[in-house]
Each structure stands twice: as structure tokens, then as C-alpha cells.
Amino acid sequence: MRGFTLIETLIAIAILLLAVTGPMTLAERGLASAGVAKIELTALYLGQEALEFIRNTRDENFLRGRGGGQNWLQGLDECATVTGCAVDPTASGGNRIDQCSAGNDDCLLWQHQGDAPNERLKGLFGHPRVRGGSTANWKITSYKRKVCITRVTDTALCVNDSGNNLRNEREVKVNVLLDWTAGALGTRSAVVTTTIFNWYDSP
């Protein structure tokens, strides 16, 4: 009975390695793609969250009857600048919005890492600086989110404008500028845009 030669054994091992390596590579790429998709989906949800926050502020001004149509953008003046603003829907009271600096570093989002089982903020994103500066239980992320409110006719995403001037508009444009790091794809960016109307003066 004839056994395998060394060359036959090596060829068999090579074929086996090829058969195993292909599926392993596909599985690795699939996992990497799923990770990148999760990061990018989170970024787009963060953009949607900022838009909803601006709409909610407009609606709250309307429902509370804050001085008529001229105050429909009350509380959003920091967003009508070239540096834009940071919004934190998880904060309470008046500490939910702050103007970003020219360097944009304070537009970085942090994620809450609380350990308590009933921690209501766990996993949510926010700005500890907007909340008063405490970073306890918060971890910095690669996401940056900047909100800019401009006239509909403005072509730039962020411009210096007075909130008082924008309050005379019937419609304004809300731009949410997002930057993040998506694994092997490197730095990514997106802009989520919508328009909101002044319900007081709408026809």
C-alpha cells in the first residue's frame, strides 16, 4: 500500500488553506462592514435628533405663546452664527444649547457610560460642557455635530446673522453638520438639512 509523498501532502494542505481562507476573509469583511454601517447609521440618527430638537424648540415657543411671531426662534440665537451651536436634548432647563467655538472642538459629542441599571442617560449622546462642564460618566467620541440656522436664500451652511433678523423670516434653513471617524474609511462627513416655518405668520 502506497502512502502520500511529501509533495502530495503539501499540495493537500495548500488546497485546504485556500478552502478555509476564502470564507474567513469574507466573514472578516462582513463584520468590518457591519461595524462601519453601525457608526454611519448612528451619525445620521444624531443629525435627525438635532433637527427634531430645533423643531421642538420652535413648537414650544409657539405653544407657550412667547410674545407672538417675533419670538418663534427664541433660544436659538447661538445657532445663527458662522460657528454654529451645540445642542444637547438630554440636558434639562436652559442648559440645552451653546455656541460652538471657531475650533469646533466643543461640538464634539460625548456618550454617557453610567453603570447604574436605571441610569436614564446610559448610551445617549450629549455635550457635558453644555450641561455645566462635568464629564463624570461621559466618554468622548469621534462624532462632531454643529447646528446652523440661516435664511433659505443663504448658500453657505453657516453664516453670521442676528437671531433677531431671522425672527422676521417666515421660513429658515436648518443645517446639521456631522463629522465622524468610520474605521478603515477614515474621516467621514454629512450634512442633514431641512426648513422650518414660522407658524405665527404662515398663510
Q: In the predicted model, is pLDDT for residue 165 greater than 80?
A: no
Domain parsing of the chain, residue ranges: 6-197
User: How far is residue 90 from each of residues 53, 68, 139, 189, measured CA to CA in Å?
Assistant: 10, 28, 15, 23
User: How far is residue 155 from each of residues 140, 151, 173, 175, measured CA to CA in Å?
Assistant: 32, 9, 10, 11
The pLDDT tens digits of the residues spanning 116-154 come to 665 677 888 888 776 666 778 888 898 999 999 999 988
The whole-model pTM stands at 0.77
Identify the residue with better confidence: 69 or 180.
Answer: 180
In percent, the amount of the chain with pLDDT more than 90 equals: 17
Please give the angle made by the CA atoms of 125, 81 and 64, to the nearest 5 degrees: 70
Residue 122: is it exposed, middle or buried by C-beta count within 10 angstroms (0-12/13-18/19+)?
middle
Residue 198 contacts residue 170 (beta carbons within 8 Å): yes
Phi/psi at 50 (5° precision): -65, -40
**Residue 146 neighbours by CB distance under 10 Å:** 23
Q: Which of 197, 191, 182 is nearest to 84 (CA)?
A: 191
The pLDDT value recorded for residue 38 is 82
